[in-house]
Amino acid sequence: MKRLFFLVMLTGVFSLLSAQPRITVTGKVTESDGQGIPGVSILVKGTLVGTITDLDGNYTIETEPQSTLVFSFVGFSTVEMPVANQAVINVRLREQAFDVEEVVVVGYGTQKVKDLTSSITTVKSEELARTPTGQAMQALQGKVAGLQVVSTGSPGNSPTIRVRGIGSYPGQNNEAPLYVVDGMFFGNIDFLNPADIASISVLKDASAAAIYGVRAANGVVLIETKSGGYNKKTEISYDGYYGLQVAQNVLKMANAEQFTTMAMESGSAADASFILNAMQRYGRSRVNPNVPDINTDWYKEILRPADIQNHSINVEGGNQSASYSIGTNYFAQEGILDMKNEYERFNLRTKLDFKATEWFTIGGNMILSNAIKYGEEAGAWNEAYFAVPILPVNDPALEGIAEPVNYANAQDLGYRSGQNPFPTLRYSDNRLKIRKLMANFYAKFQLIPDKLDFKTTYNHAFTSLDERNVRLPYFIGNSFQRVDASINKSSGIFSDQIWDNILTYTDRFDLHNVTAMAGTSFRDEAYSGLRAGGLNFPYQREESWYIDQSQEKPEGSVGDGGSRQYGLSYFGRLSYNYNDRYLLYATMRADGSSKYQQKWGYFPTVGLGWVISEESFLKGHRIINFLKLRASWGQLGNDKIQASDGAITTTPVNVAIDDVMVSGTQTTNTFSSLKWELTEETNAGLTGRLFDNHMSVDADFFIRDTKNAAIYVKIPGIGGSVLKNVGVIRNSGFEMALNWDDEFANGLRFNAGVNFSFLKNKVRDLYGQPYIDGGSAEFRQRTYVGHPLLAFYGYEVLGVYQNQAEINADPSAPANAVPGDFKYRDQQKEGEPGYGVINDDDRVILGSYFPSFLYGGNLGLSWKNFDLTASLVGQMGNKILNRKRGEIIWTPDGNLDADLAVNRWHGEGTSNKYPSSAGLRKGWNQKMSDYFVEDGAFFRLQNVQLAYNIKGLQLFGAGMPDARVSLTADRPLTLFSYNGFNPEVASGIDTQTYPIPAVYTVGLSIKF
């Protein structure tokens, strides 16, 4: 009986099996743009049956009608499709955004995103390509949380970069991060073509940056240039754009009528008489007979639209043992200031990697950059700001008198200086030739295959700067002339070498994964410079602009300089994870530097991570695909401070004795003896991928203390200051970046992201001093414990005295107060000492130049062949000192901004914001107060780009290469309330008198 039952069952099973006819399913697997993907793996779920797609993405598989097919491929999200008895199943795979398996570049190595315990943000080359700029860092504006990029409009100049606030004293460019380009250290990367960059990683916290030790206190920016790839089909591509720069947000200055009103109300008979002089000289305006007939808008006169263009050709590819990427790039940018002002750069680049044998790889990388920059005369902007509107550009009365061109002279009207910016523009030539050669050779040995390898790298960066500044003579008036043609030349050579040796061991046993690295680095940085000058050479032709041709070679113009610094470092890293779940990371670096009295510094870091999403209670969670908690701590040194003198020094000086030049010596008594600044940072954060990898979250909370902060301490009594290690500065904050990437059924791809950071800067200790003064005597900045570094310190303005009764009612009003003067807040209450008088005890902290909130956002849409991206950036919480309005303290001769001219007090009830015109000249109203300190918040539409992709086009029967045409507007809109050109003021003290241009370009990209 049992045997019969068994037989029946067996037959039944067989018949069941044979009752389901296996079907053949075919189809095509494509990516989002419709192209077929070869090599995609298709598995019948639950079995070992599978196949892969062919070169066109087509596949054929036999399976049961009720089974499920699983489609997977590296870099794409896996898709499961139930067969449901269909014969044709086409699948579109979505590129996986936010892939945690992605490898990012970290110091001296690479790590997978999922293994990181530190705070690192990486930006890829496609993102960088969107911004038309010659300076790579400019393209990062708004894309990295906690990174502040302060633009400059001048061609060839790099923007100011700050990572997570300021650690040390601003202003000497010692807050810039360390740039590492293919392993070589640089202070600035102006020579790099952004299109040559494969990725930029910003190492934000101490544990990421500490591997670079003494230079990493302000963050590290790692840049990898594009390489080819092994077994990669040769790809030739052209990228280029051409565009126009147009000045934006040009500050409105007072026009002739407003200026005249100000002069008449100023109470100065002299200034009123200058207006009359102008009317006598140039006539009266027909519109208003009390105003001269000249109304010059100086900014309009000196600005021009300027073009910008970039062309790159790149060839890359490789076979099984070699990989190469070779390219050339030409970039040219004119400046918007109407003088010889431009930047032109030509680069050649080659990167080669060879697998000489199985265990030996060798490679070389060279970048040759040849640039020429005609720098603007920054003084011209200043002159245009202060030049009076009642002065014309050319003066007919000076025809024949002024040589070579009859530019107008404000001294003819009675002003102290000539004011006209055109002589500065037309008779100055600043040429700088920048030639850089960066070469890098490495050899890598696989000592134990896949486990132990040794890499030695030698880097040499050679920069030659050749500067020639020529000033041509002119005559406009007795006190507005240049008699001598002068030439000043200086040449500087920087030769920096680095030799790194790194041993890396990677292993896994059981569930333990270990990577250990040990290395040494030796640095030799040398600089030598020479300068000389000459006077009176035949200046009519540029061929004669040489010191050799000069009649006179002033002794004072000759000099030389040099420096040589050495560094030696030992470092190591341990990166361990258990079952991809528990992460441990530690690095240690010992740095020796010849720069300070303290030779050696030791910088350890440690980091921990926990990939919660791998734990059983979260694995396979519907929403959370990946969640990692991480924390780290690290110590860094900062050697960006200038080398300390360490001892008193003697300098030669010249004196005239009996009409003979004699030299003597002066010995300084104040010298800096500096230790390294030490930065200690604790960072805690999380990294997450949610909603089926549609959303990525990165959040960090950090506290960074700079100890032995090198701050300029005023030398009592004599002015001037000296650097001393005198404090502890704390920067703390919270950063977050959220990104969403999605694709809809109709083919619309969508990605959006927002990043923001809250920052706080506070001084924690001044080693016993109650405060340290900084800034200048007239615009005091003071550092108090518990407050931001160099906060603005002055009086609070309550308003303006409107009438005499108000003055009489105020006990703190000074004896000579008149309506139209500022009313300051008396900080003391009645009964307290100091009440009833405005004195230095009534000064308070007015704000900090440090923004407390930075934000950026981006949006991308792509549909069919179109894509549109937009990004925005902004900041809040910072104050700016409008230093231009303070110039009146030294000379009241110049023009004012229109807001001040229109909104001055000129009668009861007319204004409570600004004093009267006469009041502006009174010392009482020139005190450091919040009249000078304005809100620097801004919002900017950073970049908008619309592009069209041309694929698979056929012309005349031949297939055309893929191309992409784009239209970009960079910085088209900036909104701010500050009375200046640009609210991005790196140091908070705005003397800037030039606008930042918006750039509109048309771009073309072709891949052969």
685-724: contacts with another protein (CB under 8 A) = 714-720
Q: How far is the CB of 762 from another protein (least distance, A)?
A: 22
In the set 730, 927, 964, 971, which binds another protein (CB under 8 A)?
A: 927
Spell out a b/e string for 300-320, using b for 16 or more CB atoms within 10 Å of the CB, else e. ebbbbebebbbbbbbbbbbee
Q: Is 562 in the site for another protein (CB under 8 A)?
A: yes
> Which range binds another protein by CB under 8 A, 8-16, 145-153, 191-199, 667-675?
667-675
Q: Which helix (H) or strand (E) holds 395?
A: none
Nearer to another protein, 72 or 495 (CB): 495
In the set 3, 890, 954, 959, which binds another protein (CB under 8 A)?
A: 890
Binding to another protein, residues 188-227 (CB under 8 A) = none
> Which range binds another protein by CB under 8 A, 48-56, 664-672, 805-813, 818-826?
664-672
Q: How far is the CB of 588 from another protein (least distance, A)?
A: 17
User: How would you classify the pairing of strands 749-765 and 791-794?
Assistant: unpaired
> Which range binds another protein by CB under 8 A, 183-191, 332-340, 903-911, 916-924?
916-924
Contacts of 22 (CB under 8 A, 6+ apart): 62, 63, 64
Q: Is 593 in the site for another protein (CB under 8 A)?
A: yes
Cα atoms in the Cβ-side hemisphere of radius 13 Å centred on 571: 28
Q: How far is the CB of 593 from another protein (least distance, A)?
A: 7
Tell me the residue ranges of DSSP E strands in 13-99: 23-30, 41-44, 50-52, 58-63, 68-72, 79-82, 91-92
Binding to another protein, residues 614-643 (CB under 8 A) = 643
Q: How far is the CB of 507 from another protein (least distance, A)?
A: 17
In the set 19, 48, 88, 655, which binds another protein (CB under 8 A)?
A: 655
Q: Is 840 in the site for another protein (CB under 8 A)?
A: yes
> Which range binds another protein by CB under 8 A, 385-393, 657-665, 798-806, 869-877?
657-665
Q: Is 416 in the site for another protein (CB under 8 A)?
A: yes
Q: Is 889 in the site for another protein (CB under 8 A)?
A: yes
Binding to another protein, residues 272-331 (CB under 8 A) = 273-274
C-alpha 763/C-alpha 325 separation (Å) is 48
DSSP assignment of 453-498: EEEEEEEEEEEEEEEEEEE--EEEETTEEE-S-EEEEEEEEEEEEE
C-alpha 242/C-alpha 258 separation (Å) is 40
Nearer to another protein, 287 or 715 (CB): 715
Contacts of 346 (CB under 8 A, 6+ apart): 328, 329, 330, 331, 369, 370, 371
Q: How far is the CB of 798 from another protein (least distance, A)?
A: 19
Q: How far is the CB of 682 from another protein (least distance, A)?
A: 31
User: How would you classify the pairing of strands 23-30 and 91-92?
Assistant: parallel
Phi, psi for residue 197 in degrees, rounded to 5: -90, 130
Cα atoms in the Cβ-side hemisphere of radius 13 Å centred on 321: 8
Q: Is 653 in the site for another protein (CB under 8 A)?
A: yes
Contacts of 410 (CB under 8 A, 6+ apart): 387, 388, 391, 417, 418, 419, 420, 893
Residue span 508-547 as binding mask against another protein, x where in contact by CB under 8 A, dash where not: ------------x-x-x----------xx-----------
Nearer to another protein, 520 or 803 (CB): 520
Binding to another protein, residues 106-135 (CB under 8 A) = none
Q: Is 786 in the site for another protein (CB under 8 A)?
A: no
Nearer to another protein, 350 or 456 (CB): 456
Q: Which amino acid is at 845?
A: I
Three-state SS at 938: strand
Q: What is the DSSP letter of 284?
A: B
Q: Report CA 727 to chain centroid distance, whole Å.
A: 27
> Which range binds another protein by CB under 8 A, 132-140, 383-391, 593-601, 685-693?
593-601
Q: How far is the CB of 791 from another protein (least distance, A)?
A: 15
In the set 66, 563, 804, 977, which binds another protein (CB under 8 A)?
A: 563
Binding to another protein, residues 348-367 (CB under 8 A) = 359
Could you tell me how many residues of this chain bind another protein (CB under 8 A)?
97
Residue span 734-773 as binding mask against another protein, x where in contact by CB under 8 A, dash where not: ---------------------------------------x
C-alpha 407/C-alpha 293 separation (Å) is 17
Q: How far is the CB of 169 from another protein (least distance, A)?
A: 18
In the set 99, 257, 265, 271, which binds another protein (CB under 8 A)?
A: 271
Nearer to another protein, 24 or 280 (CB): 280
Pair 708, 676: CB distance under 8 Å? yes
Burial class (CB in 10 A: 0-12, 13-18, 19+), 9: exposed
Nearer to another protein, 501 or 910 (CB): 501
Q: Is 483 in the site for another protein (CB under 8 A)?
A: yes
**Nearest-10 crossing angle of helices 256-265, 269-282:** 140
Pair 959, 952: CB distance under 8 Å? yes
In the set 552, 615, 692, 832, which binds another protein (CB under 8 A)?
A: 552
Pair 303, 251: CB distance under 8 Å? no
In the set 660, 745, 955, 958, which binds another protein (CB under 8 A)?
A: 660
Whole-angstrom CA distances from 943 to 332, 345, 875, 948 are 20, 24, 16, 17
Q: Is 926 in the site for another protein (CB under 8 A)?
A: yes
Q: Is 507 in the site for another protein (CB under 8 A)?
A: no
Q: How far is the CB of 396 from another protein (least distance, A)?
A: 20
Q: How far is the CB of 518 from another protein (least distance, A)?
A: 12
Nearer to another protein, 688 or 886 (CB): 886
Nearer to another protein, 288 or 891 (CB): 891
Q: How far is the CB of 672 from another protein (least distance, A)?
A: 11
User: What are the structure tokens assigned to 184, written together?
Assistant: 């070589």
User: What are the structure tokens assigned to 972, written together?
Assistant: 């088209």
Q: Is 478 in the site for another protein (CB under 8 A)?
A: yes
C-alpha 260/C-alpha 250 separation (Å) is 22
Phi, psi for residue 454 in degrees, rounded to 5: -125, 130
Pair 438, 181: CB distance under 8 Å? yes
> Which range binds another protein by CB under 8 A, 184-192, 651-659, 962-970, 998-1006?
651-659
